[in-house]
Amino acid sequence: MREMTFKMERPGLVKAGDAVEVSEKKTALNYSYIIEPAVAMSGCYKVNQRLHTLNGVVKEVQHTQRGYYVIVTFDEDPLPEK
């Protein structure tokens, strides 16, 4: 299972166990993902780190001093360690 972290600005938009769909946004060199409908946004990923599936399940929602973070699991292989 691959995990991806998304930044969420407001609490309560999703919860652990929710099935989510993400959309992919392409820039000149990177890809980013948004949990629809505009719930949370990922960081940037290089071409070789793209998602192959756009459906996942919320593993957990974390609240930190910097805000809310949504951890989503996708049914694909994890990224190789650096």
- DSSP calls for 21-70: EEEEEE-SS-EEEEETTTTEEE--B-GGG--S--EEEEEEEEEETTEEEE
The pair of structure tokens assigned to 6 is 């998304």
Residue 81 clears pLDDT 80, i.e. is over it: no
For the stretch 26-69, pLDDT in tens is 988 899 999 999 999 999 999 989 999 999 999 999 999 999 99
Q: What is the DSSP letter of 11?
A: T
Do residues 50 and 31 touch, judged by C-beta distance below 8 A? yes
Output the pLDDT for position 78: 83
The pair of structure tokens assigned to 48 is 């070789």
Output the pLDDT for position 82: 61
